[in-house]
Chain A
Amino acid sequence: MSGRWVQGPRWGLLLALLLALGELPRARGVEEEPGGAHGETQGFQVVTFKWHHVQDPYIIALWILVASLAKIGFHLSHKVTSVVPESALLIVLGLVLGGIVLAADHIASFSLTPTVFFFYLLPPIVLDAGYFMPNRLFFGNLGTILLYAVIGTVWNAATTGLSLYGVFLSGLMGDLNIGLLDFLLFGSLIAAVDPVAVLAVFEEVHVNEVLFIIVFGESLLNDAVTVVLYNVFESFVTLGGDKVTGVDCVKGVVSFFVVSLGGTLVGIVFAFLLSLVTRFTKHVRIIEPGFVFVLSYLSYLTSEMLSLSAILAITFCGICCQKYVKANISEQSATTVRYTMKMLASGAETIIFMFLGISAVDPLIWKWNTAFVLLTLLFISVYRAIGVILQTWILNRYRMVQLEIIDQVVMSYGGLRGAVAYALVVLLDENKVKEKNLFVSTTIIVIFFTVIFQGLTIKPLVQWLKVKRSEQRDPKLNEKLHGRAFDHILSAIEDISGQIGHNYLRDKWSNFDRKFLSKILMRRSAQKSRDRILNVFHELNLKDAISYVAEGERRGSLAFIRSPSTDNMVNVDFSTPRPSTVEASVSYLLRENVSAVRLDMQSLEQRRQSIRDAEDMITHHTLQQYLYKPRQEYKHLYSRHGLTADEDEKQDTEIFHRTMRKRLESFKSAKLGINPHKKAAKLLKRERAQKRRNSSIPNGKLPMVSSLQDFTIKEKDLELSDTEEAPNYDAEMSGGIEFLANIAQDTATDSPSGIDNPAFSPEESPGILSGVPPWLCPGEAVVPSQRARLQIPNSPGNFHRLAPFRLSGKSVDSFLLADGPEEQPHAAPPESTHM
């Protein structure tokens, strides 16, 4: 079944590729023609075909396109991608493409070169990993990760190399021109778990975070070990086995520390620079994201230049700078960085896997030795498992939470090898390492085996073993607060009991960070808002508002925002009376404007559209006005080099305080019973509840009927309700009732009998709207639900009570009234508001 599913896209891809490839020879041919015809000197050529001119970038771009299209193809079928990891699919695709290239050209013209891999494809992936590293998780498990990365890798390299050598001595492999050092060299390059492969496979498996961070962290940090082992053994091989002295071995050990610590240091230095630079980019927002990439790439290149561990450098650059950079750069830049990084990383990953497949199709590199290949596979799997079990046994004596058997199985099984090994093996010098091709082909087999076979089976394995999966939850304010309290308690307990543990260290670090680092590396404004609890709070608030609006949209209307009632406003931070004013000012006028007689459906549709847009705008406006915003926000003005900031923080905090004061007051009154008018308020509320139940919203001409005497009283009512109804914080139900009430009201608005909206005053267009089917009513919004219809009262009894409600809404706030006309011109051509 699934085979057939993938057939479609695959054929499409092949077709595209064939076209692309067919282009090449033809292009060359075409290119030669002008050369041949060169003798006849021509005049000015209008069109010239210059393939060589663009050849290299063109081919690169084509490959990227093919890889990306392939990705689209895979994801056309959910069935395939849920079973087969993308990396495996890409390798297979690469094999197919490689076959086609080979068939067409008779030589393998494309392959993954170490230079391209190490300089262009690997850095984005590792940077992405570092920049989005869950620091706390990472550092919390650093000991475990380091042990696996260092001891584990050395163990794997040594045992695999030595065992292979042992088997070789027994003669099972036949006649090979290999010495012990060559075997160790091979062992060292095949030993390392590959970050790219691990990421690609584990991201789809969703094991719990601890397991993930251990395997992934290991794959990142073992780079230093791999680099050192590789270099050491390579130089030993160059020297020749008999010339290696004890001094060289010691040097090798020393160089491990230099390479790893040096790489880390380079990363940290560049992270510091990067944070510092982003602190001062206030006026060049537009190139802000560039710094992140350029400086971290420089850290990679620098440590490569100093022959330190480049992967470690860029990883730690990402890890260390993330906090400060994220605080410093603007929201938009942060988004840009995030997306660009993800795009580069996943693009690079795609290309790597595809080219791994393509590179394999090259008859020149293949040298088969069954015993060698199979034994390598056997040894790396077995020794990985043994290594994991041994190390876990040691670690579990020190870990609070034990790594269980299941975890160990997944860790052993998740030891995927990938492109790093391939690139390293291709780098080998054929003159020094005689059996390079055997190594290359074995490495390719190992990679394919681990990525395809293990990648395919790890998901069922994880499911079968019931490994704890990760779960995504939204932060809760209470949790965050408790978490913060726990942190402090723990570090205090460690202080008191005189222990030095994680919490102690973390506490000291965060103090140091707050006192010095943040002061140097963060903008002053960022220092303020960086507290995580504030952020969570902010997020929650935003979510509140969004869900509130979404709720309205789900019900088909944003009309509730204009609702005269205050009840359903309480759980959002909109200041209650204002939205109705907006309605009065914007929507009202708008409707009035367009309320000329409509004769055809189309124009009605248009009108509906424009009203919708207006409503959208009101929503935006309301959100903008009453939510305290994310740190940076810009007007949608076009400018090449800068985005003008229209943000002043004072206003921001003011809004924050205003809305929160509201919450606070309402809460105070509700909870502590401070409100002196409690009794009266209760009475009023009961009254109103009654009203709500009756949903006694009368037909629409009410606002005009309102009497002035009522006015003052009702304003008081409104105020009281502000403070009183707050405990209805999560009162979706009550909100629902309100909605119904509103809908009912709106229905009344549009029901043929009485058109509430002054925009369609009966004199102007008496019969038009009544003839319009409900789904085309202005603001489909107002199509009532069955229930709402039922609730439309036949005889409006108490409209006197309701009417002033609306008016009072208008009167409470003058500042938005002033806002209204300003908005209106925007509203008139709806397109212009949504730039």
Chain B
Amino acid sequence: MGSVSSDQIEQLHRRFKQLSGDQPTIRKENFNNVPDLELNPIRSKIVRAFFDNRNLRKGSSGLADEINFEDFLTIMSYFRPIDTTMDEEQVQLCRKEKLRFLFHMYDSDSDGRITLEEYRNVVEELLSGNPHIEKESARSIADGAMMEAASVCVGQMEPDQVYEGITFDDFLKLSHHPWSSWARVAEEQESWALELVVWHWVWWPECPLGPWPG
């Protein structure tokens, strides 16, 4: 149900060749050639996601050493915009796919759960852009988020119950409330020029994190 036009595929192919240095496959190192990526705090996670078998639909765990153009397209297709022609069901499916991509990025050991350690890891990387935030704070935030997750997903916990981690179902649940708001937020998006539209990831493009009043 991808709706990537041939133009876009061609453009991506050019980009692919540029990245791979005219090789048929891309390796992790090739991503070092993208200078803008260097500033991205979670770049390693993102690059890793390109080689994740789960995202490539090749297996339930593990990493690929290299990806070809088809794989590259597969990954990119996660980011296609939601088509206006899609019906509600397809839209939901499309969103779920995107959430799954994110979930896989968080769940680095592919055990189907985002454990506290994994979550902390993500948050630390996310906040690593700000040199003033100490590791400790990042960890605390992850803990807080985890507790929130536990309270949303499990609700009332028995005294000796232990929350193992966020499963994908939980993840959907957590993102269930946001769907209303993120859906709304997505509407804030516009693109300045047609050719730029292609790769907007519609669902998550805008989240009120910018410098505007809370």
Contact call B162/A727, Cβ cutoff below 8 A: yes
Asked if A487 is at the interface of the complex by the 8 Å CB criterion, the answer is: yes
Q: Report the separation of the CA atoms of residues A141 and B203 in the bound assembly, to the nearest whole angstrom.
A: 16
CB of B184 closer than 8 Å to a CB of A: yes
User: Is B5 part of the contact surface with A, judged by Cβ < 8 Å?
Assistant: no
**CB–CB A540/B144 < 8 A:** yes
A471-B180, A656-B137 in contact; A685/B201 too (CB < 8 A)?
A: no
| B41 x A488 contact (CB < 8 A) | yes
Residues of A within 8 A of B102 (CB): 482, 485-486, 489
Return the CB mask of B184-214 against A: 1 if under 8 Å, else 0.
Answer: 1011111111101111111111111111111
Q: Is the CB of A398 within 8 A of B204?
A: no
Of listed B116, B146, B157, B177, residue having the most chain A CB within 10 A: B157
Judged by a CB distance under 8 angstroms, whether B86 is at the interface is no
Which chain B residues (145-202) contact chain A, with CB distance < 8 Å? Answer: 145-152, 155-157, 159-165, 174-175, 177-178, 180-182, 184, 186-194, 196-202
A136-B208 in contact (CB<8A): yes
Chain B contacts for A496, CB-based, 8 A? 15, 19, 31, 34, 37
Is A100 on the interface with B (CB-CB < 8 A)?
A: no
State which residues 466-489 of A face B: CB under 8 Å: 468, 470-471, 473, 475-489
> With an 8 A cutoff between CB atoms, is B68 at the interface?
no
In the assembled complex, A134 has its CB within 8 A of some CB on chain B? yes
By the criterion CB–CB under 8 Å, are A477 and B141 in contact? yes
**Which of A135, A402, A670 gathers most chain B CB within 10 Å?**
A670
- Contact indicator B191/A400 (Cβ below 8 Å): yes
Residues of A within 8 A of B203 (CB): 486
Measured between beta carbons, the chain B residues less than 8 angstroms from A498 are: 11, 15, 18
- CB pair A481 B46 closer than 8 Å: no
Complex contact A478–B145 (CB within 8 A): yes
List residues of chain A with CB within 8 A of the CB of B15. 496-498
**B residues within 8 A CB of A482?**
102, 175, 178, 204, 207
Q: Which of A497, A531, A726 contacts B199 (CB 8 A)?
A: A497
Interchain CB contact under 8 A, B188 and A481: no
Residues of B within 8 A of A656 (CB): 137, 140
Q: Provide the residues of chain B in CB contact with A480, threshold 8 Å.
A: 207, 209
Q: A400-B189, A401-B187, A501-B196 given as contacts; is B208 within 8 A of A492 (CB)?
A: no
Interface residues of A, count at CB 8 A? 105
The stretch of B55-63, B87-95, B128-136 in contact with A is B128-136
Residue B64 CB within 8 A of the other chain: no
- A148 to B: closest C-beta gap in Å: 12
Chain A residues within an 8 Å CB radius of B194: 397-398
Stretch of A198-206, A346-354, A502-510, A817-825 at the chain-chain interface:
A502-510
Q: Cβ of B190 and Cβ of A140 under 8 Å apart?
A: yes
Q: Looking at the complex, which one of B130, B140, B189 makes contact with A502 (CB distance below 8 Å)? A: B189
Instruction: Confirm or deny: A702 has a beta carbon within 8 angstroms of a beta carbon on chain B.
Output: no
Is A490 part of the binding interface, using a Cβ–Cβ cutoff of 8 Å?
Answer: yes
- Given contact pairs A144-B190, A534-B141, A664-B143, A491 touches B40 in the complex (Cβ within 8 A): yes
In the complex, chain B residues whose CB is within 8 Å of the CB of A537: 140-141, 144
A527 at the interface (CB under 8 A from B): yes
Q: Which residues of B contact A540 (CB under 8 A)?
A: 144, 148
Q: Please, how many angstroms separate the alpha-carbon atoms of A531 and B123 in the complex? A: 13
A730 within 8 Å of B (CB atoms)? yes
A141 x B31 contact (CB < 8 A)? no
In contact, A210 and B188 (Cβ under 8 angstroms): yes
Count of chain A to chain B residue pairs whose CB atoms are closer than 8 Å in the complex: 304
Q: Known contacts A540-B144, A728-B159, A729-B151; decide if A209 and B184 are in contact (CB<8 Å).
A: yes
Tell me whether B28 is interfacial, beta carbon within 8 Å. Answer: no
- Shortest CB-to-CB span from B113 to chain A, Å, is 11
A478 and B148: CB pair below 8 A? yes
CB distance from A70 to the nearest CB of B (A): 29
The answer to whether residues A729 and B162 also contact, given A135-B212, A480-B209, A482-B178 and a CB cut-off of 8 A, is no
A537–B41 alpha-carbon span in the complex (Å): 20
Count class of interface residues, chain B: 35 or more
A143, A209, A664, A686: the one within 8 Å of B188 (CB): A209
- Given that A489-B201, A685-B160, A730-B155 are known contacts, is A400 also in contact with B84, CB under 8 Å in the complex? no
| Docked-complex contact A479 and B46, CB < 8 angstroms | no
Would you call A727 and B207 a contact (CB within 8 A)? no
Mostly, the A contact residues are helix
Whether the pair A685, B202 counts as a contact (CB closer than 8 A) is no
CB-based contact A322/B211 at 8 Å:
yes
Docked CA distance A811–B192 (Å): 65
Answer whether residue A533 sits at the interface, using C-beta atoms and an 8 A cutoff.
yes
The CA-CA distance from A541 to B148 in the complex, in Å, is 11
B11 partner residues in chain A, CB cutoff 8 A: 498
CA A502 to CA B198, docked complex, whole Å: 12
**Looking at the complex, which one of A493, A514, A685 makes contact with B79 (CB distance below 8 Å)?**
A493
Scoring A residues 599 to 628 as 1 if CB is less than 8 Å from chain B, else 0, what string do you get? Answer: 000000000000000000000000000000
Q: Pick the contact of A481 from B116, B134, B145 — CB < 8 Å?
A: B145
Q: How far is the CA of A465 from the CA of B206 in the complex (A)?
A: 26
CA of A483 to CA of B204, assembled, Å:
7
Q: A477-B148, A725-B159 are in contact. Are A487 and B207 (CB under 8 A)?
A: yes
Nearest residue, chain A, Cβ from B26: A496
The answer to whether A689 has its CB under 8 Å from any CB of chain B is yes
Q: Tell me if B148 and A398 are in contact (CB < 8 A).
A: no
- Establish whether residues A499 and B207, one from each chain, have CB atoms under 8 Å apart when the complex forms: no
Interface flag for B1 (CB, 8 Å): no
Decide if A663 touches B200 in the complex (CB within 8 Å): no
Q: Which of B152, B164, B178, B201 contacts A490 (CB 8 A)?
A: B201
Question: Distance in Å from the Cβ of B108 to the closest Cβ of chain A?
Answer: 13
Asked if B43 and A492 make an inter-chain contact with CB atoms under 8 angstroms apart, the answer reads yes
A479–B173 Cα gap in the complex (Å)? 12
**A506 to B212 alpha-carbon distance, docked (Å):** 14
Residue of A468, A486, A657 near B140 (CB, 8 A) is A657
Per the bound structure, the CA–CA distance linking A397 and B204 in Å amounts to 20
Q: Which residues of B are found within 8 Å of A133, using beta-carbon distances?
A: 212
A528 touches B133 (CB 8 A): yes
Which B residues, 2 to 47, have Cβ-Cβ distances below 8 Å to chain A?
A: 11-12, 15, 18-19, 31, 34, 36-37, 39-43, 46
On whether the beta carbons of A140 and B188 are closer than 8 Å, the reply is yes
For the complex, give the distance between the alpha carbons of A407 and B80 in Å: 25
Name the contact of A141 in the complex, choosing from B146, B147, B190, B210 (C-beta under 8 A): B190
Is the Cβ of A727 less than 8 Å from the Cβ of B161?
Answer: yes
Q: B182 to chain A: which residues have CB within 8 Å?
A: 479, 483
A432 within 8 A of B: no
Within 8 A of B (CB), among A708-756: 724-734
Q: Does A532 contact B (CB under 8 A)?
A: yes
Give the nearest-CB partner of B186 in chain A: A401
Alpha-carbon gap, A256 to B204, bound state (A): 37
B213 touches A322 (CB 8 A): yes
Decide: A468 near B184, CB < 8 A? Known: A399-B190, A527-B132, A673-B162. yes
Q: Does A51 contact B (CB under 8 A)?
A: no
Asked whether, in the complex, the Cβ of A398 is within 8 Å of the Cβ of B188, the reply is no
A340 to chain B, nearest CB (A): 16
Q: Which of B156, B181, B199, B213 contacts A471 (CB 8 A)?
A: B181
Distance in Å: Cβ of B101 to nearest Cβ of chain A:
8
What residues of chain A have their CB less than 8 Å away from a CB belonging to chain B? 132-137, 140-141, 143-144, 208-210, 213, 322-323, 326, 395, 397-402, 468, 470-471, 473, 475-504, 506-508, 510-511, 514, 527-529, 531-537, 539-541, 653, 656-657, 660-661, 663-664, 667-668, 670-673, 682, 685-686, 689, 724-734
26 contacts between A and B (CB under 8 A): A134-B212, A135-B211, A137-B208, A137-B212, A210-B188, A322-B211, A398-B197, A471-B181, A475-B214, A477-B144, A479-B181, A482-B204, A486-B203, A490-B205, A492-B40, A495-B34, A496-B31, A501-B200, A502-B192, A504-B36, A507-B40, A534-B133, A657-B140, A660-B139, A667-B143, A730-B151
Q: With A498-B18, A537-B141 given, can you name 17 additional A-B contacts, CB distance below 8 Å?
A: A136-B210, A137-B188, A140-B188, A473-B181, A475-B208, A477-B141, A478-B152, A479-B178, A483-B209, A486-B204, A501-B192, A501-B200, A528-B132, A660-B144, A670-B163, A729-B157, A731-B156
